[in-house]
Structure 1
């Protein structure tokens, strides 16, 4: 696969979602960067949709992410707030539409029943482990969350997300400690 055909590398943020003990929590740091510079430290990368029944987090270009969020909301409306169906339809459009194909962002969506990752390569992924992450600090946050789920099961989904994001912020220079966390 040539470098030109590789999906874009999403960096400069960390978004984490955990489904644990019947709750789903999604959190993100607040840092926005332009190259090597912190442009803003309190960006809100978590959005409630469908009257608060669906929560979405985004990583990547902010303008691109807002475009995708708008399209996702349109799909939710068109498909009666069926998150899975809306995600699949968005991923299909994203992969095939000339304009959308150029967008550099990723989304995590959550309802009371499920977590999904939506990418521009047409992927709609449901995690095996009830943990999803995107962004530059995603692997740090995901590893920390998986360890906390296994070794500190008494913690709530929100506590796991908060602690895992703080661990990622200690390691990843593109992730800060200004966290926003929403729970379903």
Structure 2
């Protein structure tokens, strides 16, 4: 376990996005842990941001760092309205090069009506090929479950909910207190 001074590192979460059938869904769990102790069960790690709440963002990592990134992304969206990819690229560039931002410990999933992206502090802005992507300690479990369900008749929201439930049953840093936000996709 990584540690910061004498405090154990904050662990895990699971965030997933699924695009299917004209919908984009971002879902995340509510558990916040420090070390092997659950501190909170109902944190809200997925929210709408930007003008008109047309962007959904979810984070994995340190909470304060994620709020700083949400704020920065909102400012980028003001600069580049209706251009989520451009705003995300500009955020990733700042995140990688700015001395203060460089130390932030978080990852983000962002989605609007056109695109879903993962944004990292390494300067990555990644779009999934199949419309499904997940991050966090339970991300690989949720991703595998969602991909298995993608070819069924199940809609995007139900896929996200089922994938999150599966991740919560496997990953000790993910719980079943799920927040789901949906947006109409083009």
Q: What's the TM-score, normalizing by structure 2?
A: 0.91
Q: Say whether 1:122 aligns with 2:126.
A: no
Q: How many residues align?
A: 174
Q: Which runs of no fewer than 5 residues in structure 1 stay unpaired?
A: 1-8
Cα drift, residue 72 of structure 1: 0.3
Q: Is the 8 A contact 1:148 1:160 kept in 2?
A: yes
Bigger proportion of residues as helix: 1
Following the alignment from structure 1 to structure 2, what is the Cα–Cα distance between the partners of residues 35 and 75?
34
> Does the Cα contact within 8 Å between 1:10 and 1:135 map onto a contact in 2?
no
1:6 alignment partner in structure 2:
none
- State the shift of 1:47 in Å: 1.1
Is the contact between residue 49 and residue 70 of structure 2 (CA under 8 Å) also seen in structure 1? Answer: no
Provide the residue aligned with 1:5 in structure 2: none
SS of residue paired to 1:57:
strand
CA drift of 1:79 comes to 1.1
Deviation, structure 1 residue 81: 3.4
Kindly indicate which of the two structures has a greater share of residues assigned to strand: 2
Deviating above 4 A after TM superposition, structure 1's stretches of 4 or more consecutive aligned residues are none
Matched, 1:164 2:163: yes
CA distance in structure 2 between the aligned counterparts of 1:80 and 1:159, rounded to whole angstroms: 30
Change over 3 Å in CA distance of 1:10–1:149 after alignment to 2: farther
> Which deviations, in whole Å up to 9, do the C-alpha atoms of 1:144-164 show, x marking residues without a partner?
0000002x2x11100000000
RMSD of Structure 2 on Structure 1 (CA): 1.2
Contact 1:10 1:59 in 2 (8 A): no
Confirm or deny: 8 A CA contact 1:12 1:175 kept in the other structure.
yes
Tell me if the contact between 2:19 and 2:131 (Cα under 8 Å) persists in the aligned partners.
yes
> 1:101-140, CA deviations, whole angstroms, 9 ceiling, x for partnerless residues?
0000000000011101000000000011110101000000
For structure 2, list consecutive stretches of 5 or more residues without a partner in the other structure.
1-8
2:55 is aligned to: 54
**Displacement of 1:12:** 1.2
Question: What are the residue-to-residue correspondences of 1:1-184 with 2, within 5 Å?
Answer: 11-50=11-50, 51-150=52-151, 152=152, 154-184=153-183
In 1, the alpha carbon distance for the partners of 2:81 and 2:105 equals 27
1 CA distance for matches of 2:163 and 2:10? 19
Give the TM-score of the pair, scaled to structure 1.
0.92
